[in-house]
């Protein structure tokens, strides 16, 4: 999938989940992983997160910009594996534009918090698995495959070229 169609699919898959496992230290091979709530996926397929500028995560990104994000929604049976390059953004205007009241739980001072910054992840590559069927349809397909001896369909999957 290319460009606009890919960005729309990327947004849809991410918005179904909202949270990812965010891997840093990719090139060192000693991954640091933490769950992160995504704030926005923009029109270019760039992912945005809030963090503390003095966090281990910000430090990891300063040393190695390569990151890996994994989104999983087992209820909808949709999954997204995204790799990209991250950077720390301190622009106050962008922080204010992307602010979400839920972030106040971590940054009680709001957009005025001097520790608050953004993580910008430019998507380099993404691979997805998606299933548009309901659970009941999937159960029936699985039963039919057991009876017929044929392997069930695993849904739609492919690469997103953003």
Residue 140 has pLDDT above 80, yes or no: no
Confidence at residue 151, expressed as pLDDT on a 0 to 100 scale: 57
Confidence at residue 158, expressed as pLDDT on a 0 to 100 scale: 59
* Cα dihedral across residues 43, 83, 16, 50: positive or negative: negative
DSSP track, 50-67: EEETTSHHHHHHHH--EE
Q: How many domains does the chain have?
A: 1
The CA R_g of the chain, rounded to the nearest whole Å, is 18
Q: 95 versus 74: which is more confidently predicted?
A: 95
CA distances from 19 to 31, 39, 95 (A): 18, 9, 19
Residues 6+ positions from 136 with CB-CB distance below 8 Å: none
Confidence at residue 138, expressed as pLDDT on a 0 to 100 scale: 47
Confidence at residue 156, expressed as pLDDT on a 0 to 100 scale: 59
CATH code for the domain of 18: 2.30.110.10
Confidence at residue 66, expressed as pLDDT on a 0 to 100 scale: 96
Q: What's the pLDDT band for 145 if we cut at 50, 70, 90?
A: very low
Domain that holds residue 104: 3-160
Cα–Cα distance for residue pair 129/149, rounded to 1 Å: 23
Cα–Cα distance for residue pair 34/31, rounded to 1 Å: 10
Q: Whole-model pTM? A: 0.82
Beta strands in 10-161 (DSSP E): 19-24, 32-37, 40-41, 47-52, 66-73, 78-89, 116-130, 156-160
Q: Once rounded to an integer, what is the mean pLDDT over residues 79-98? A: 95
Most confident residue range from 113-122, 129-138, 151-160: 113-122
Confidence at residue 159, expressed as pLDDT on a 0 to 100 scale: 62
Q: Once rounded to an integer, what is the mean pLDDT over residues 117-143? A: 72
The tens digit of pLDDT for each residue in 39-78 reads 999 998 999 999 999 999 999 999 999 999 999 988 888 8
């Amino acid at each position: 999938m290319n460009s606009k169609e890919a960005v729309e699919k990327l947004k849809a898959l991410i918005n179904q989940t909202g949270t990812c496992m965010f891997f840093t230290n990719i090139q060192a091979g000693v991954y640091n992983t933490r769950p992160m709530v995504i704030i926005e996926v923009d029109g270019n397929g760039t992912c945005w997160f809030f963090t503390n500028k003095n966090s281990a995560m910000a430090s990891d990104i300063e040393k190695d910009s390569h990151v890996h994000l994994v989104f999983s929604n087992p209820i909808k049976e949709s999954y997204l594996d995204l790799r990209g390059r991250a950077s720390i953004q301190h622009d106050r205007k962008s922080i204010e534009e992307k602010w979400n009241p839920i972030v106040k739980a971590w940054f009680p001072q709001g957009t005025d918090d001097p520790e608050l910054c953004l993580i910008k992840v430019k998507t380099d590559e993404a691979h997805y698995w998606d299933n548009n069927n309901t659970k009941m349809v999937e159960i029936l397909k699985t039963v039919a495959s057991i009876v017929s001896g044929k392997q069930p369909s695993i849904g739609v999957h492919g690469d997103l070229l953003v």
